[in-house]
Structure 1
């Protein structure tokens, strides 16, 4: 599954270059030119109805030796480093901030009945809860960013789990508030509900991007808390 493969000029491809090596050894990273006639893709339409990702195929694709990234058979370290960065990218505080800003702006304006939603205690409480999660998420992001190139795998996984699960909770909370105090016949409310619906559907996907959250929890336990690994 390759996000953006339908727009890409090049694909970052992990492939086994030493079939005799043990599990995480013998993997190399190659850069594949998408103009190669053996490269193709088919779209995968996600729950939000959009085309973000694809199934990709490599039929007799040949890659020049100078398109090797790093050392031959040294790709696993590159993969894990890239995944650590991707996991942080999947749990950004800005996504939560976007919901907070739009909900706060909507709640601060009087509706058609003259009532301002933010005057209700449960609306204030919801906005406060969303704001606190936004700031916690931001601190987790900054913690990983401060590590520079030496990102701790448990910190990256923690950021991803927190960000991707809280954004779903926040989306549901926002929808409940707008559904309770908004009038879908009013354009501002209808537009916000449509946007929240698309965000809720899209945010379901990111819990398994970069590694499913169940596996992330195992990584947090093993790498962060030094809990023995679960036997397979």
Structure 2
């Protein structure tokens, strides 16, 4: 276990590890522990009572956070013709076809955060599965990143759309804003993401769905939430 810094150890003293905090109280406690000298990102870590090895228990989707993420998102769009023009006009950072796929493959170029593709470009994009997949960048219809409505997809992403998906340990890790947002904006964003995850509960899921929900800033300790109240 790496030795934690003095700020982290001080923060831990103010957090009751055994307590399940109400959402607003948890956010306020977390903000007092975010002591780094930069605007820390706040993340939610949601452990679900599902088994990600089964296709019918997958949980993934996307939601536009009411107050955005506080991060400037660089969008790459694979499109051609009128759709390429539409993407440029909607504010995409990069638009192209096979030449962009070659740049990613040959130059290991990753100066982007989200990839959108029109369905007719998936033949080109499919070849990038091995490099985009592990980074969580592969376009997917479920998250709205494979679509002919590229303008809407770009606008939502720039407005603060976040994708959520289970990892192999059945946990969703998702950014919910920045320390500078303050309590109310973070509470609103966390409620939006939790509502989406609760609604995405697979029919095949048995037993308790929300096993645990923890919020933490980049450098701060995790604070556990009272999940029964989040399900109301």
TM-score by length of 1: 0.24
Of Structure 1 and Structure 2, which has the larger fraction of its residues in helix? 1
Query: Structure with the greater relative contact order (CA < 8 A, sep ≥ 6): 1 or 2?
Result: 2
TM-score by length of 2: 0.24
Of Structure 1 and Structure 2, which has the larger fraction of its residues in strand? 2
